[in-house]
């Protein structure tokens, strides 16, 4: 049983588009709010939480809706097409907004557009990949997303977005939208969603589905043990996103105003480390299991954020380089395996629904954390709050993840494997 890497890479262009947008959003929107509109960190955090407020309500809808959609292009592809186009248009216009009111309205339109295709694009990977291979598949998807993020960070360096006091980011936004549209074109020209989804269903019938079989015994619903595990996984997702998003949504300001360094360089280090880690951690999970691999990743992320607190403006750049490289590896380790654990518990027709559950947990966390961390930073200082706050949240995620009992990868039946190998 082997993963079709070419197919997975092509499907990953949907996530490539998503990551390109969010990398730009997370880094320049806080700078626009604080530099151009002169907002305090707490209120800036409230604006930054808007995308997550939208997501909590809309991602489950647009996760479940494609499950019930049928077109000749597939269930997910139409959402990716129209959502990307709309988000690109609104993002370009947003770059020229001269008043806070207009900026926020355009931002809401942009976020609504992104919400329509985020879950469908992510759900496409499990749609075309059998369950035992989804950690490896998710490694490729995240690798594509990281590639998109790195390109945008390189653009940030070229367009000097970290210049202190900079207010005009329109040229940078044009470049970002160009990358998004290029990714969309590749996706539309190469991905054959209906054909690939049908082939996945045929492969699943050959190898069996142990979690689904357990559900069948209780009328198709999750067993009590499965439900508890699902809730614990979602709690873990929320907690590590509370920590991680606090850093990603404020680090551009922290690096510029506290450390007086180029934020793009540090984030590129984290992204580069993640790229190196994605494939190996997928392979590790296939040997020792998703849960143990995630626990190792959460522990590393806790250490990385805890250590980054001790980096000061006078510290050697190597210190922050080390901690952000460790954070990149840790985040790759977590991301590759957490989403497959959630959809492992889904039946074939419910993948979009469970994708919505995953994003509801992550986005709910990201509603709370920019606001809470922002007001704490206003009260006690950014230097004293950002990294300790993130480290504590990640440590709590380790505890909840420790008690998960379902969603791990399981060996397929020998008979099914033999049949599949014969087809290969």
| Cβ-proximal residues to 357 (8 Å cutoff; 6+ apart), any chain | 60, 63, 230, 234, 342
Query: Each residue of 104-113: pLDDT tens digit?
Result: 999 999 999 9
Region 340-359 average pLDDT: 83
What's the rounded Cα separation, in Å, for the pair 58 and 64?
Answer: 10
pLDDT of 216: 47
Q: Give the torsion through C-alpha atoms of 342, 347, 353, 359, to 10 deg.
A: 10
Region 114-125 average pLDDT: 89
pLDDT band at 37 (very low <50, low <70, confident <90, very high): confident
Output phi, psi for 166, to 5 deg: -65, 140
% residues pLDDT > 90 (the chain)? 38
What's the rounded Cα separation, in Å, for the pair 173 and 88?
Answer: 9
Does the pLDDT of residue 412 top 60, yes or no?
no
pLDDT band at 420 (very low <50, low <70, confident <90, very high): very low
What's the rounded Cα separation, in Å, for the pair 423 and 14?
Answer: 29
Please give the residue range of the domain that contains residue 413. Answer: 5-423
Does the pLDDT of residue 410 top 90, yes or no?
no
pLDDT of 416: 40
Region 342-356 average pLDDT: 81
Give the global pTM: 0.72
- CATH number (domain holding residue 125): 1.20.1250.20
DSSP three-state, residue 173: helix
What's the rounded Cα separation, in Å, for the pair 375 and 424?
Answer: 56
What's the rounded Cα separation, in Å, for the pair 27 and 34?
Answer: 12
Query: Each residue of 141-200: pLDDT tens digit?
Result: 988 998 898 899 889 888 887 676 777 888 999 999 999 999 999 999 999 999 999 988
Query: Each residue of 201-236: pLDDT tens digit?
Result: 888 788 766 555 555 444 468 888 999 999 999 999
In the chain, the number of structural domains is 1
Region 230-243 average pLDDT: 95
Nearest Cα residue to 107 out of 25, 46, 221, 175: 25
pLDDT of 212: 57
Does the pLDDT of residue 330 top 90, yes or no?
yes
Query: Each residue of 70-105: pLDDT tens digit?
Result: 899 999 999 999 999 999 999 999 988 888 899 999
Q: Are 246 and 400 in contact (CB under 8 A)?
A: no
Region 42-58 average pLDDT: 78
Mean pLDDT of the chain: 85
Between 21 and 39, name the one with better pLDDT: 21
pLDDT of 418: 35
Between 214 and 118, name the one with better pLDDT: 118
pLDDT band at 422 (very low <50, low <70, confident <90, very high): very low
């Amino acid at each position: 049983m082997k993963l079709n890497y070419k197919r997975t890479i092509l499907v990953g262009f949907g996530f490539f588009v998503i990551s390109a947008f969010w990398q730009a959003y997370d880094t320049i929107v806080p700078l626009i709010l604080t530099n151009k509109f002169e907002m305090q960190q707490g209120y800036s955090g409230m604006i930054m939480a808007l995308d997550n407020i939208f997501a909590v309500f809309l991602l489950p809808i647009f996760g479940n809706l494609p499950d019930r959609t049928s077109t000749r292009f597939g269930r997910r592809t139409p959402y990716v097409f129209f959502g990307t186009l709309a988000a690109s248009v609104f993002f370009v216009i947003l770059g020229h907004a001269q008043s806070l009111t207009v900026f926020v309205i355009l931002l809401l339109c942009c976020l609504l557009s992104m919400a329509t295709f985020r879950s469908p694009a992510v759900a496409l990977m499990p749609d075309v990949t059998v369950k035992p291979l989804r950690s490896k598949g998710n490694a490729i998807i995240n690798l594509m997303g990281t590639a998109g993020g790195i390109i945008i960070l390189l653009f940030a360096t070229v367009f000097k977005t970290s210049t202190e006091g900079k207010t005009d980011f329109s040229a940078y936004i044009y470049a970002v939208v160009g990358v998004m549209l290029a990714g969309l074109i590749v996706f539309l020209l190469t991905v054959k969603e209906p054909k690939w989804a049908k082939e996945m269903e045929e492969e699943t019938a050959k190898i069996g589905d142990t979690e689904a079989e357990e559900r069948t015994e209780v009328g198709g619903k999750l067993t009590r043990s499965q439900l508890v595990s699902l809730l614990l996984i979602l709690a873990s997702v929320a907690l590590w996103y509370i920590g991680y998003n606090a850093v990603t949504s404020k680090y551009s300001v922290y690096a510029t105003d506290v450390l007086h360094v180029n934020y793009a360089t540090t984030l590129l280090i984290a992204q580069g480390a993640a790229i190196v880690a994605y494939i190996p951690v997928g392979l590790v999970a296939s040997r020792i299991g998703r849960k143990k691999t995630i626990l190792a990743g959460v522990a590393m992320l806790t250490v990385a954020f805890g250590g980054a607190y001790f980096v000061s403006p006078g510290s050697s750049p190597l210190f922050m380089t080390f901690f952000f490289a460790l954070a990149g590896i840790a985040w790759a380790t977590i991301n590759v395996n957490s989403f497959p654990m959630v959809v492992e518990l889904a039946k074939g027709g419910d993948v979009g629904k469970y994708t919505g559950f995953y994003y509801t947990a992550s986005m709910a966390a990201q509603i709370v954390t920019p606001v809470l961390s922002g007001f704490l930073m206003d009260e006690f200082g950014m230097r004293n709050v950002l990294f300790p706050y993130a480290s504590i949240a990640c440590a709590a995620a380790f505890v909840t993840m420790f008690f998960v009992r379902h969603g791990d990868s399981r060996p397929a039946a020998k008979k099914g494997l033999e049949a599949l190998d014969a087809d290969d």
